[in-house]
Chain A
Amino acid sequence: MTDASMDTPRPRRAKTSLVSEDARTKKRNAAEKRFQAYGIAAIATGLFFLAVLAFSIVRSGLPAFTTTVVDVNFTLTQEQFDEAEGQLFKTKAYSGYFITALQKKLEAENVQVAFDEAAIERIMGKIGGTLREYYTANPDQLGQEVAFKLNASSRVDGYFKGRVQRETLQDSRFLTLADLDLVDALAEAGIVHSAFDWGFITGADSGVDNPGGAGIGASVVGSFFMMLVVLFLSLPIGVAASIYLEEFAPQNRWTDMIEVNISNLAAVPSIVFGILGLAVFIQFMHLPQSAPLVGGLVLTLMTLPTIIISTRASLKAVPPSIRDAALGVGASKMQSVFHHVLPLAMPGILTGTIIGLAQALGETAPLLLIGMVGFVARGYPDGFISGFTDPNSAMPAQIYTWAARADQAFYEKAWGGIIILLIFLLTMNIIAIILRRRFERRW
């Protein structure tokens, strides 16, 4: 407002209309549009790859959830049972009865096909043994009609799922072209069909020669026990360490160094943690090999930095005015942290923890080194404690094992396992989102 500014009037901007864009505005708007286009293109690319991934996983993995079964209603009389038990080759007698019954059934359905015992065995396994086992265990079922649900062999299963094709099939001791005719006939009669395979979800791994019997259930249990260890160790340790570092520790060279090292730890390849676990937990402390306990300990080491970093970030995000407010009414440092800061940081802490757990759940490399890969879990642990200490596998390790096996059927199982693993990860992420929503406070 001085006189000087009056004397030399500033050059004024030319008058422009508001309804037409001037050159600068045009340029600015164009740049903005370009930027948005880049963003949309990037997102579209991401979504495209995600869709391709999801599609190929589902396409390759879905067959693992079904299996080909043989449904036969079969009656064995007391006399037949006694007769068979009196013979030298008992199981052969049983399969004889079965084949006769099957032939009758096919005739009733007007299906003409000839087959022998060997063909039946190739299609649905050693039926004689199965029957004998059943009737010796349940003699009260003699003389009554029993609905048998038998698993078809993995080749037949492969034929149903398109893995095995007529054109490329060469007669072998596992399957012949004639067998496929029989399978087609049986399918037409409604005896052979595919069904949902609960065994895949609940079962344990099988041997290399029996892909049909392989299930992921036992390794899900292994992963579950591992995650329990990780959760109950890394959450309290991680949160306590973060609270101390963030709220109580003095700012000096030592805490700076610890901070840098925690960040570095987060970047250490997981296989390094694996070899550390092997050296410390197994070779030095003599904890059992292949046990979820050891797997959990190793994964805890891996998860801790993630949890510490995210917890510290969410503690830092709590406005300092809240701390001042608490201290101002005479709360102690600890009261201010536990009554006010921690509840506000909770959503971030929980999200970080669940993301850390999800990472740990999908981790394979460290398990390689502590012997959780290649081990075939033959069944479930028989108690809560032995769940931690019995040798077991974990989901990603099981998938790795299957993918490494030669039989195509196992490859399919591996994809199926990936679907299960992804379902778990997705569930965990959804839980993280729900928890975050629930605990989030508006300011």
Chain B
Amino acid sequence: MYDAPHTERDVDQQDIKISARKVQVYYGTTHAIKDVDCDIEDKTVTAFIGPSGCGKSTFLRCLNRMNDTIDVCRVEGDISIDGEDIYDKRVDPVQLRAKVGMVFQKPNPFPKSIYDNIAYGPRIHGLAKSKADLDEIVEKSLRRGAIWDEVKDRLDAPGTGLSGGQQQRLCIARAIATEPEVLLMDEPCSALDPIATSQVEELIDELRQDYSVVIVTHSMQQAARVSQKTAFFHLGNLVEFGDTGKIFTNPVDSRTESYITGRIG
């Protein structure tokens, strides 16, 4: 079923970028993530798959401490990036999030112009020395987000006036404009048509040259197409984690097999 391209994918071993050990996440008394160990490699696309409500988004949000904003949420265990514990008391989550960018499940452009949407991150991080610099960053990011051609004539138009798919690509462009080292994407293509989806997938593949990308997806085909590593979550557990090719062709756990063949989920 998913036998198409992943025979010749490269599975070179890369350095570990993010390492998670014994991660537990609680929402109040709900135990949403149970004892997850996971190593995410640099310059690799890692896909999180699993049935709805299994904790993919929750785990993803742990990686840039977006869960800090939820009052009832409590995270235990160790997560480190490049060997540094991100839940250390000395770590400023704001600095962390500049390093670990995020694209959300629902497109959420700022109700500002398209230009300002992209320029906001570089501005607050001081990435541009001049207006020309900023213009260049905006153009480059929009091009990489596969949306430049559609918006180049209306950079002053509000970002919220775009279609859902365009908004999502705008958000992707916004996330990469700050030059993060890790990019977390929560179902980035759920609102996109097949053409935009393949553009985003190309983009993800390209981003892999420099970044570590983590993508949550409900599309098995997409996971198979873009990722080198796949993690299967089920009811808060990380059931299986390994090379994408192996997970889709020869899963170890029976739950993984039933999920990817469409029997649970």
Contacts and interface: CB of A to CB of B under 8 A. Distances in A.
* A-B complex is real: yes
A384 interface: no
Interface string A324-342: 1111111111010001100
Interface string B141-176: 000000000000000001011000000000100110
A332 B121 CA distance: 11
B264 interface: no
A330 B121 contact: yes
Interface string A48-84: 0000000000000000000000000000000000000
B74 interface: no
B217 interface: no
Contact of A250 (B71, B104, B109): B71
A346 to B, nearest CB: 12
A321 B111 contact: no
Contact of B98 (A250, A330, A339, A344): A330
Chain A contact-residue range equals 20 to 34
Interface string A400-443: 00000000000000000000000000000000000000000111
A326 B245 CA distance: 36
Contact of B110 (A251, A327, A330, A340): A340
A323 interface: yes
Nearest to B160: A443
Given A329-B101, A329-B175, A331-B94, A443 B111 contact: yes
B104 A251 contact: no
A330 B94 contact: yes
A100 to B, nearest CB: 79
A331 B124 contact: yes
Contacts of B177: 329
A195 interface: no
Secondary structure of the A side of the interface? helix
Contacts of B178: 329-330
Given A328-B102, A443-B160, A323 B94 contact: no
Nearest to B117: A325
Given A321-B104, A324-B104, A441 B111 contact: yes
Interface string B76-112: 0000000000000000001101110111101011110
B69 interface: yes
A188 B106 CA distance: 81
B121 A321 contact: no
A326 B66 CA distance: 11
Contacts of B99: 330
A322 interface: yes
B94 to A, nearest CB: 5
A328 B107 CA distance: 12
Interface in A90-109: none
Nearest to B69: A327
A321 B159 CA distance: 14
Contact of B120 (A329, A344, A441, A443): A329
A47 to B, nearest CB: 36
Contact of B104 (A325, A332, A340): A325
Nearest to A329: B121
A331 B104 CA distance: 15
Contacts of B95: 330
Contacts of A327: 66, 69, 94, 97
Contacts of A333: 94
A321 B106 contact: yes
A331 B174 CA distance: 13
Contact of A330 (B97, B106, B160): B97
B166 to A, nearest CB: 15
A254 to B, nearest CB: 14
Contacts of A250: 71
Contacts of A251: 71
Q: Could you say which of A250, A324, A330, A335 has the most chain B C-beta atoms within 10 Å of its C-beta?
A: A330
A326 B112 CA distance: 12
Nearest to B92: A332
Nearest to B61: A324
Nearest to B64: A328
B125 interface: yes
Given A328-B66, A330-B98, A322 B108 contact: yes
B111 A325 contact: no
A442 B124 contact: no
Contacts of B101: 328-330
Contacts of B124: 329-331, 335, 339
A324 B71 contact: no
A250 B101 CA distance: 26
Interface string B178-194: 10000000000000000
B180 to A, nearest CB: 8
A326 B110 CA distance: 8
Contacts of A443: 111, 160
B142 to A, nearest CB: 15
Q: Could you say which of A250, A326, A344 has the most chain B C-beta atoms within 10 Å of its C-beta?
A: A326
A333 to B, nearest CB: 8
Q: Could you say which of A319, A329, A331 has the most chain B C-beta atoms within 10 Å of its C-beta?
A: A329
A341 to B, nearest CB: 11
A340 B124 CA distance: 13
A325 B66 contact: no
Q: Could you say which of B102, B125, B177 has the most chain A C-beta atoms within 10 Å of its C-beta?
A: B102
A204 B101 CA distance: 65
Given A325-B174, A332-B94, 10 more contacts: A325-B110, A329-B98, A329-B124, A330-B95, A330-B121, A330-B124, A331-B94, A344-B111, A442-B158, A442-B161
9 contacts: A321-B106, A322-B108, A322-B110, A325-B110, A328-B102, A328-B104, A329-B97, A329-B175, A330-B98
